[in-house]
Amino acid sequence: MHCGEVLEVALGSIDGDPGVRPGEHIFVESRAAWYEITDALPQFEEWPPGFEA
């Protein structure tokens, strides 16, 4: 979801493919030091531009 649409889902509640995919990575500056993002999705240190939290 992007710009104004936030969906929070407890991962343990997903059974099967939910049919949606991430569109970006947010809060990347606070990820675990050992976690490496290896895809080409946009990355933002905080909220993406245009998102009002």
Per-residue pLDDT 10s for the chain (53 aa) are 445 577 777 878 888 888 888 889 999 999 999 999 999 999 999 888 887 66
Evaluate the CA torsion angle 23, 2, 32, 16 in order and state its sign. Answer: negative
Question: What is the spatial distance between Cα 4 and Cα 38, in angstroms, rounded to a whole number?
Answer: 25
Please report the pLDDT score of residue 32 as a whole number: 94
Please report the pLDDT score of residue 47 as a whole number: 86
Evaluate the CA torsion angle 25, 19, 39, 41 in order and state its sign. Answer: negative
Structural domain boundaries of the chain? Answer: 22-53
What region, left, alpha or beta, does residue 19 occupy, with left being phi > 0 and alpha being psi -120 to 50 degrees? left
- 18: which residues sit within 8 A by CB, 6+ positions away? 9
Does the predicted model carry a pTM greater than 0.85?
Answer: no
